[in-house]
Amino acid sequence: MKRVIFFLLVVLLSVTVVAPPTPHNIKGYVFHANGSGVANGFPVLLNDTTENTFVQTTVNAPPVPQFRGAYSATISGTDGDAVAAYSWNETHYGLTNATLASTTEINITLNLTRNPELNISIIAPLDNTSYNGSQEFNLTVNATLLGADGSCNVSISFGNGTVLNETAGNLTRAFPTLTRGDNFLVNFTLLGYVLGYSSITATSICENEGPILEAQTMDMLENITIVDEEVPVVTLVAPANNTLNKTSNLVNFTYNVTDFSSIGNCSLLLNGAVNLTSSSVTKGVVQNFTTVLSNGAYNWSVNCTDTSGNEGASLTFNLTLEVYYPEPNVSVESAIVLTAGSVRTVECNASVVDLDGEANIVNASSIFHIDSVAPGAPDDANDHYTNSTCSEVAAFGNEKNFTCTFDVQYFALNGTWLCNVTAYDVEGLNATAVDTAVVDPLYALNVTDTLMNFGDLSGNDISANISQNVSNIGNQQINVTVYGYGGSLGDNNAFSCATDNVSVEHMRFAVNITAGYSEKEALSGSLQQLRLSIPKQTVLGSPSMNTSYWQVQIPLNVSDIGVCNGTIVFHAELS
């Protein structure tokens, strides 16, 4: 079973009730330092320092000598409060400290020399005054030195120093040699920096300052407001007035805008109508509008509206566009047959028209390339050729004619090729036109040795290996086929001799150098595969080549047949 213990907490609160302050009478006399009573009208300041309450009165005695210097007043306080009583004239003051009672008598003797105290008041501007942003204005403080001679200063401070401030940041004015009674004006130059409002406080402080008896040492202005009533200032930058643009229909209009407020938006006006508007505008930095325009005459300006609703407009500039691109027309032969083992000159002809006249056409360049390769690819004998300076062949009126030639290698790829011609004018404008051509396949080969000498042989002799190099001089991979004859085509001989013949099957070949005569394949009088495949050449100066090996055996029954001659025909076929 759980046990539950209850505790009772008793808190005793002690409350002390203090009686509220009540009116208390204070009376007394004010004396000069020589003991005589002061005249009526002398100020008396009573300060209950416990309650921090003040009462100011004046000496007001009946016209009886023994009452001269008498005063009386009522102050709110509590018995036992500390009370300080002051009185003063221009040069001296008196101070008496006492304890408040039901009736308190406090006499004051003017036996202390007064310290300097600077009385100030702001006389301009007034509370709730508005100023336009970026407009300097003066804060004027009226100052009078009371008490003794001395050194004093006047300072100002702001409730919101980001809204307005002193232009040079000089918030204090010092006055080192002031004489009692000096009256003068203190000026501060102020400037608004952002929209808004702020209070302004002026404060005076003197060296060796004592109790402040009668000076007002602080004054405040309320609600000094910074507004913007000025229009944005818009300055056009480029293009300059009366510009003739012959280089581009894409025009960049630049301008600059300054204003106190932020800029809400700016608009580009062309011939009086809004063309573009931007709501993202930075003051004091060159801004731009970019647009494409047709040839013609324009006037342009920029209007800007700030966030205070003020609208400003620039001057109006004139602009003329006369942008004429060169217009090439290209022709190239439609079917191109390459030259085996050599170069084939290909011509692209271009007629170029420019409305600014033929003298405005500078030159033309051309690129000849297969359609699967980009025009900007590097030159390659297989697929890409460049002619940077085509030849000018004629000029008249608004036209120039150019011929662009290319020495195309025999192993260039077959297929559809493009001839791109780009024409340039004085303004740096250019345009390109294209025509197409077809490069045909080329199957071609070449043998290195046109004479194969098998030496002196007797019956049943087998010659040494005679090598024969075969080069691909076309633009296709090829298979090599061969056939042979002696004296005439189809005679089935390898050699025709003076007294006898050697039949064609005694001539044999192989593509392997290690193959012996018996391993080689016999030649035929009709086409047969050499079993030699040769890729097309790809690098200029590096022929694509393969080698075959040949031997002949003289029949046993053939002898002393003299000089023999025969023909082997090498033939290139599609691989």
The token duo for 25 is: 């009478």
Decide: 371 and 437 in contact? Cβ < 8 Å: no
User: How many Cβ atoms sit within 10 Å of the Cβ of residue 261?
Assistant: 20
- The strands making up 117-124's β-sheet, listed across from edge to edge, are 117-124, 137-146, 183-192, 164-166
DSSP 8-state secondary structure symbol assigned to residue 262: P
HEC profile of 502-553? EEHHHEEEECCCCCCHHHCEECCCCCEEEEEEECCCCECCECEEEEEEEEEE
How far, in Å, are 257, 287, 320 from residue 242 at the CA level?
Answer: 21, 20, 7
Residue 18 pLDDT? 56
pTM: 0.64
Pairing label, strands 53-58, 112-113: unpaired
List % helix, strand, coil for the chain (3-state, nearest 5).
Answer: 0, 55, 45
Residue-wise pLDDT for 139-186, tens only, equals 999 999 999 999 999 999 999 999 999 999 999 999 999 999 999 999
Pairing label, strands 466-472, 22-32: unpaired
More confident residue, 480 or 459: 480
Residue-wise pLDDT for 28-46, tens only, equals 999 999 999 999 999 999 9
The token duo for 429 is: 């404008």
Residue 562 pLDDT? 78
Average pLDDT over residues 447-459: 91
The token duo for 285 is: 């930095």
Nearest to 442 by CA among 371, 340, 571, 336: 340
HEC profile of 60-123? CCCCCHHHCCEEEEEEEECCCCEEEEEEECCCEEEEEEEECCCEEECCEEECEECCCEEEEEEE
Length, in residues, of the chain: 575
Confidence check: pLDDT of 9 > 50: no
pLDDT bucket at 16, cuts 50 / 70 / 90: very low
Confidence check: pLDDT of 6 > 90: no
Greatest distance between any 2 Cα atoms in the chain: 186
Residue 12 pLDDT? 34
Nearest to 504 by CA among 490, 519, 514: 490
* Ranges 9-18, 80-89, 102-111, 116-125: which has the least confidence: 9-18
Residue-wise pLDDT for 333-386, tens only, equals 999 999 999 999 999 999 999 999 999 999 999 999 999 999 999 999 999 999
Average pLDDT over residues 508-512: 97
Q: What domains can you pick out in the chain, each with its CATH number? A: 22-113 (2.60.40.1120), 117-227 (2.60.40.10), 233-321 (2.60.40.10), 327-439 (2.60.40.2550), 445-574 (2.60.40)
How far, in Å, are 1, 201, 406, 443 from residue 409 at the CA level?
Answer: 112, 93, 9, 14
How far, in Å, are 6, 9, 20, 539 from residue 3 at the CA level?
Answer: 10, 19, 53, 106
Residue-wise pLDDT for 528-557, tens only, equals 999 999 999 999 999 999 999 999 999 887
